[in-house]
Chains A and B, each alone.
Chain A
């Protein structure tokens, strides 16, 4: 039984951490958060040079040819640093979609540029408030052209391409690839709950697109991509939750009240213990997701749900506790607590809420029993 990462994989993680400690301190997140830049371009370039963007991309397509077990550990470090880069959109969504369903030509055309970071990609499914539900998709494809509106699109304002879920003339959904700098595309940045990560509204008007994967099978493909992204994102959430716990612990050890560190009050000790348990359970579920992802096996649909729900709950709890335990200063703009609070909320929603994934989980368990 070896439910652990190899020493080589852990070395990849350590290298990533060391890089991010130097190049992505929380001040970098705050710079994007408070400034006009939509992401940290220098950091993104660095991530490309480190080989992270193509960690799971085969060498023949310009990637590092490692695998998903290495990628999840990099994701954990990216999450820990609250790195202000479109990592999740480009790597967990666009790159994974092309790895999964791209034709040889599409892979040759796009993967090397995604792996280097020269191209940023994303996925566009939702068209307004509510869950990611296939029946409410109105964007349509006619004669190889896409018309419709998508929002919110994670990193839609910085991406060069987007994989878009839209409806063909026969009513079936397909996943199509749009050049966001091409004709028929208008986009606007959206104010975000977490301004360290960008979101956009994309408006397509007869924009030329190419189909990715089997036509008419767009929803099934999108779900597979979301499952993979859920596992990768779970590690990012885990990294953030763990960092939040560590920062909060350090604060509570140094903050004195009634003659002693507030960390010595049992009410807080127990809440720290509860948070630790939630994070460890999330870690275990994420590890199982990583195993399923790296094997590409039947366990993925359930493992992805477990990983996402667990990580979302843990990161959510961590950031609420972080704000609360910091007391008044936690509520100030200057302290970093709200950077975590906002990032946790964004990540909890961007692939669909935890409630949505709980419903998905039960539906999948039922389907498995019926089979």
Chain B
């Protein structure tokens, strides 16, 4: 049992570190961290992000796990984690490529045509192309396969109509990957097709979604008679669900090895700085018990991540147990934020950066965390995944199998 790198991992880490040190500035831990949950990137940020990605690409540090022929480094998942760990220590522009490079590129690699691979992959890796994912719809989130946007064949093109929602970065993306329904008479999963979409096409309207915390990282995207060439189709007609699954599976492979204990240190400081019963709240026994609970769970999550890294280091593929991190972490983050706000007493309801404790950090977190319990798989779906795929309990009973999509109920019956 050893937390150190293997000799090969250590050598790789040193190389990565050396390159990063030569090309970027280390983060100062005393500077406040950027609030990444609500940022809506502007043109300046995007230009900086593009330049940094190109720099990494030209030096061979882009897309660590991608095959070299597609612009990657041809490295292992563990090497990708190591590079990510070192990269996180440096001041770099926000990463606007996680969706494209993390999920969509691998989908094209698996299901795309040679022309699609040639046109897009290297440009994705170099950051010349920014991509967004167009999956969720107002009527299809957890039940993604219930999506309703349509595509109808018209000569060598398809005509798309419908609406997507919760699309991160659609407003600055040139390209998107979209799943639409091409056959409403087939079953739910069987009538879907996957396309590459030029986001500058005529008929596309993008509207920001305003979140409860005032931020706008996501968009609604409306399609009215948008024309898509058949050459942009990824995979066979009606086989879109298979490609969509590839995209979704890649979402899970992103393993954050950063610890959340920075958040705990802040919480401890808050407990010291606020008061209860005439003395620092941290001397209150109930506060101490709650703090201990958070610490133990955070450590448990951190070491569960280490076990996953160990599996990666041994060349194993992480399985559905990876859902633990989010299933436990997201609701706990909400509990921590609520606890932190409560510690502040009546002033906890003030979110004034000049007056509130810790510059209203906890108030902002309290507003941001409900989204974490829903995005990227709701708590409930994750528990279903753990129950069904890890514990092998029976799957949910479905009323929408073996019938045509058009016959599936989508709301209460009309009186």
Determine if chain A interacts with chain B. Answer: yes
The interface residues of chain A lying within 8 Å CB-to-CB of B327 are 273, 277
Q: How far is the CB of A30 from chain B (nearest CB, A)?
A: 27
Of the candidates B9, B296, B304, B396, the one whose C-beta lies within 8 Å of that of A309 is B296
What residue in chain B is nearest A261 (Cβ atoms)?
B394
The interface residues of chain A lying within 8 Å CB-to-CB of B295 are 306, 361, 365
Question: How many chain A residues have a CB neighbour from B under 8 Å?
Answer: 47
Query: Which of A274, A281, A310, A361 has the most CB atoms of chain B within a 10 A radius of its CB?
Result: A281
Of the candidates B1, B289, B300, B380, the one whose C-beta lies within 8 Å of that of A5 is B1
What residue in chain B is nearest A314 (Cβ atoms)?
B300
The segment out of A110-118, A122-130, A143-151, A264-272 that lies at the interface is A264-272
* A306 close to B310 (CB less than 8 A): no
A117-145 vs B, CB cutoff 8 Å, 1 = contact: the mask equals: 00000000000000000000000000000
In angstroms, Cα B292 to Cα A270, docked, is: 25
B77-99 vs A, CB cutoff 8 Å, 1 = contact: the mask equals: 01000000000000000000000
Q: How far is the CB of A293 from chain B (nearest CB, A)?
A: 10
Q: List A residues 185-223 near B (Cβ within 8 Å).
A: none
In angstroms, Cα B4 to Cα A4, docked, is: 12
Q: Does A181 contact B (CB under 8 A)?
A: no
* A285 close to B324 (CB less than 8 A): no
The interface residues of chain B lying within 8 Å CB-to-CB of A261 are 394
A2 touching B391 in the complex, CB below 8 Å, given contacts A288-B303, A358-B289, A359-B292: no
Of the candidates B9, B391, B396, the one whose C-beta lies within 8 Å of that of A249 is B391
In angstroms, Cα B386 to Cα A290, docked, is: 26
* A361 close to B292 (CB less than 8 A): yes
Q: Does A106 contact B (CB under 8 A)?
A: no
In angstroms, Cα B380 to Cα A116, docked, is: 51
Q: List B residues 277-319 near A (Cβ within 8 Å).
A: 282, 285, 288-289, 291-293, 295-297, 299-304, 306-307, 309-311, 313-314
Q: List A residues 1-42 near B (Cβ within 8 Å).
A: 1-6
The interface residues of chain A lying within 8 Å CB-to-CB of B328 are 277, 281
Q: How far is the CB of A190 from chain B (nearest CB, A)?
A: 29
Q: List A residues 282-321 near B (Cβ within 8 Å).
A: 282, 284-285, 287-288, 290-291, 294, 305-306, 309-310, 313
Q: Does B253 contact A (CB under 8 A)?
A: no
The interface residues of chain B lying within 8 Å CB-to-CB of A269 are 383-384, 387-388, 393
In angstroms, Cα B292 to Cα A361, docked, is: 7
The interface residues of chain B lying within 8 Å CB-to-CB of A4 are 1, 307, 310-311, 314
Of the candidates B285, B310, B388, B396, the one whose C-beta lies within 8 Å of that of A1 is B310
In angstroms, Cα B292 to Cα A355, docked, is: 9
Q: Does A69 contact B (CB under 8 A)?
A: yes
Q: How far is the CB of B151 from chain A (nearest CB, A)?
A: 34
Q: Does A251 contact B (CB under 8 A)?
A: no
* A3 close to B288 (CB less than 8 A): no
Of the candidates A264, A284, A291, A305, the one whose C-beta lies within 8 Å of that of B3 is A291
Of the candidates B299, B387, B390, the one whose C-beta lies within 8 Å of that of A288 is B299
* A358 close to B2 (CB less than 8 A): no
In angstroms, Cα B304 to Cα A365, docked, is: 21
The interface residues of chain B lying within 8 Å CB-to-CB of A260 are 394, 397
Of the candidates A253, A274, A306, the one whose C-beta lies within 8 Å of that of B296 is A306
Q: Does A349 contact B (CB under 8 A)?
A: no
The interface residues of chain A lying within 8 Å CB-to-CB of B302 are 284
Query: Which of A252, A277, A281, A282 has the most CB atoms of chain B within a 10 A radius of its CB?
Result: A277
In angstroms, Cα B307 to Cα A255, docked, is: 34
B1-29 vs A, CB cutoff 8 Å, 1 = contact: the mask equals: 11111100100000000000000000000
B56-79 vs A, CB cutoff 8 Å, 1 = contact: the mask equals: 000000000000000000000010
A264 touching B397 in the complex, CB below 8 Å, given contacts A284-B307, A294-B1, A306-B296: yes
Q: Does A337 contact B (CB under 8 A)?
A: no
In angstroms, Cα B295 to Cα A268, docked, is: 28
* A3 close to B310 (CB less than 8 A): yes
The interface residues of chain A lying within 8 Å CB-to-CB of B78 are 1
Q: How far is the CB of B84 from chain A (nearest CB, A)?
A: 13
The interface residues of chain A lying within 8 Å CB-to-CB of B395 are 264
The interface residues of chain B lying within 8 Å CB-to-CB of A274 are 383
Q: Does B321 contact A (CB under 8 A)?
A: yes
What residue in chain B is nearest A291 (Cβ atoms)?
B1
Q: List A residues 53-93 near B (Cβ within 8 Å).
A: 69
Of the candidates A2, A3, A306, A362, the one whose C-beta lies within 8 Å of that of B299 is A306
Q: Does A162 contact B (CB under 8 A)?
A: no
What residue in chain A is nearest B397 (Cβ atoms)?
A264
Q: How far is the CB of A316 from chain B (nearest CB, A)?
A: 13
The interface residues of chain A lying within 8 Å CB-to-CB of B311 are 4
Q: Does A263 contact B (CB under 8 A)?
A: yes
* A358 close to B390 (CB less than 8 A): no
Q: How far is the CB of A323 from chain B (nearest CB, A)?
A: 19
Q: Does A179 contact B (CB under 8 A)?
A: no
A280 touching B321 in the complex, CB below 8 Å, given contacts A1-B4, A285-B300, A362-B291: yes
Q: Does B37 contact A (CB under 8 A)?
A: no
Query: Which of A266, A362, A365 has the most CB atoms of chain B within a 10 A radius of its CB?
Result: A362
Q: Does B159 contact A (CB under 8 A)?
A: no
In angstroms, Cα B288 to Cα A362, docked, is: 6
Binding site for B on A (CB under 8 A): 1-6, 69, 249, 252-253, 260-261, 263-264, 266, 268-270, 272-274, 276-277, 280-282, 284-285, 287-288, 290-291, 294, 305-306, 309-310, 313, 355, 357-359, 361-362, 365-366, 369
